[in-house]
Structure 1
């Protein structure tokens, strides 16, 4: 079965970090593509040990706040 997850990718110091909020996995890479590929592998390995129950798709959005 194929499932779709979210990848949040950001630059941290000198490497790209990718995180999957649905599962809690994270990985890194020198490029965005490498970080996502490593996250996919980490998530697949995680799910082999800790299978998830069926869940509904997540909504990803943004919002703004005022800051000083």
Structure 2
């Protein structure tokens, strides 16, 4: 079965940090975006192997919304 999983990437001076908000503690990193993407995909697959089918559905049905806000600083 295939699921859509949300991941969030943060770039810093060391590369990319990436995590999955639907799966608490599921995170990874990479020197490049592509490496971080491959690493989080592997981390998610391994994480999901530890869950029952019901737990997978429960965690991945959690809605995640991201947005950007413009903030004015005086």
Query: What TM-score range do you get, normalising by the shorter chain?
Result: 0.7 to 0.9
Tell me which protein shows more helix as a share of its residues: 2
CA offsets per residue over residues 2-60 of structure 1, 9 Å max, x none?
A: 00011111113312111111113110111111101100100110010024236265333
Alignment TM-score, normalising by the size of structure 2: 0.72
For structure 2, which runs of at least 5 residues remain unmatched after alignment?
Answer: none
Q: Aligned runs of 1:1-68 on 2, under 5 Å?
A: 1-24=1-24, 25-50=26-51, 51-52=55-56, 53=58, 55=61, 57-67=63-73
For structure 1, which runs of at least 5 residues remain unmatched after alignment?
Answer: none
CA RMSD of aligned residues (A): 2.0
Moved over 2 A (4+): 56-68
Alignment TM-score, normalising by the size of structure 1: 0.77
Tell me which protein shows more strand as a share of its residues: 1
